[in-house]
Structures are given as structure tokens and as C-alpha cells.
Structure 1
């Protein structure tokens, strides 16, 4: 199964980096170049394990995904992670999952690693689709993590993330 990954060091602690990654609404749109629209489903108002989301990308494609893991940094645990899997999405994805990990860098900052794992359909076209998908998703994840790094230095994004309002 193909994977694409991007990593960046940001000058904020893991809890703040995690909070930035989970911002929503206008705050999220301020830093995330991939998302055009996103909201929680089933009456949820905050992210968490089992929560479903609807996302429309800048490409116009939509996906419903579910948080499989949601572990923000906490006292005694200085790393954080989030994992999501696609429940419904573009026809060409047979499976799709995303994972984000936030680890202290030892200097007061964070190393953020984002990874996508996917498979494509139909099976007869999989070799070509997955090569193309690796290239496209690799480009998108690099743009996205660069936007995340910008968000981690944007005073408005940081204020919203730290207050829990974004």
C-alpha cells in the first residue's frame, strides 16, 4: 500500500502544534491550503476518537472520514497523534487513511510528521493510479505541512488554537 509522508519542525510545543492541526472553520482555512470546507457530522462539536467529519478539498473532491485515534499531548505524555480513515470518498480510493504525529524536538519545538496511506481502484489500473496518487498526494501533503508550519507562526492561528476557539 503506498504511503506519502511529510515532516517539518515548528517552533511551538507539541500541545500547541497538535491544537493548530485540529483547528476548524476560518482558522483552519487560514493555514490549510487543501481544505475548502470541513465540518463535524452526527452532532459532534469537537474532534475525538470515533468522530466523523466531512471534508471538501480545493480540488472539489469530498470525503467522510472517522477519527480512529485522537491523543493530544498531556501531562506525562509529551507526544500527540491523530489518525483518520476514509468511510466514503472519491471513487478511485479503495482505502485512505491519514496520520499525524507530534514529537518534541528537544529544543522547545516540535517535529510534526504527517502521513497518508492509500490504495486505488479498479485493481487493473492500480499500478498507474497509485503512482499518480503518490505524486499528487505527495505534492498536496508537502503544501499542507508547509501551511501548517506557517500556521504555527501565525499569531491569529496560535491564539485560536491555544484558546480552543479555532
Structure 2
């Protein structure tokens, strides 16, 4: 089942892309994640890189980047995760509307396990994930709009 959210943030596409793909900052703004880090000694997110995200409930999901275009798109698929997920994939798109305004689109494709109950469990799982994603969007927007002016000022001072 596909879940989509589209929203605007008063920050540059580069800043938002970098922020959302920086695993050292993820727990500062991401309401779904209490801990996140790259795997296999990777130094930064990139195509083929894997990461682990751990939620407040202690459940962990390992993902792999299937697409990575800086300042534009990051897409992942689940490598391993909580039993309830049969399939999880997500994509984040960033479209600069100006130097200080970006349209962001989060898209997730989720299927629940066990497959014989997927017809009833997937809509329930997606409903919960959609609500959590809405909280995540509010938190990301607030964090980015609070931090972006300071980041811009320090870059302009250089």
C-alpha cells in the first residue's frame, strides 16, 4: 500500500537533503527514530550503502539505498526489519522552489506479514505509519526552519 505526503519547508533543497541523510543528526529531528547509523563502516549515505534505524519501541530496520541523487532523491528498501513488515520501501524527493523554499515528498510502500493476513494488517500498519509520518514531517519542518537561518548565516560569513 502506497503512502504519500507532500509539504513545503522554508529551507534549501541542499540543506534538507543533507539533513535528512545525515545519520549523526537523525535522532535530533526524526520522531520515528531514537538511534540511526550507517553499517559496514560507511562514512556517508550513498547508493548501495546500508543503515540501521531503531525506533522508540526498540524495533530495528536495516535499509539499503536504491537511489541517491544529492539534493534531489533518496530511496531505500528494507533489507531486514520487524516481523510485521513483509515489504518496506521509501523515497524522499526534494524540489527547490527557490533558494530558501523546498517542496518535499515522502513516499512509502508497505506490505504487512503474514501474507495470508496482509489484506487486513497492511491497512492498519499503513494507517499507523501515516500518522507517525505526519508527526515526523512536523518535527522535520520545525527543526529545519529553526536551524536553516543559522546555517545560512555561517555560510555567508565565510
TM-score (norm 1): 0.84
More relative contact order in 1 or in 2 (CA 8 Å, sep 6+)? 1
- Residue matched to 1:137: 129
Provide runs of 4+ in structure 1 moved above 4 Å. Answer: none
CA distance in 1, matches of 2:121, 2:144: 33
Shift of 1:45: 1.2
RMSD (Å), alpha carbons? 2.0
**How far apart are residue 130 of structure 1 and its match?**
0.7
- Preserved CA contact (<8 Å) 2:6 2:105: yes
Contact 2:27 2:36 in 1 (8 A): no
| Alpha-carbon offset, residue 11 of structure 1 | 1.0
Consecutive unaligned residues of structure 1, counting only runs of 5 or more, are: 74-79
| Correspondence for 1:19 | 18
Is the deviation greater in 145-154 or in 95-104? 145-154
CA contact (8 A) 1:52 1:66 kept: yes
Aligned residues: 153
**Are 2:28 and 1:30 aligned?**
yes
CA drift of 1:156 comes to 7.8
Q: Cα gap change, 1:127/1:55 in structure 2, threshold over 3 Å: closer, same or farther?
A: same
TM (normalized to structure 2)? 0.88
Q: Which moved more, 1:60-69 or 1:119-128?
A: 119-128
Cα distance change on mapping 1:112 and 1:158 into 2, 3 Å: farther
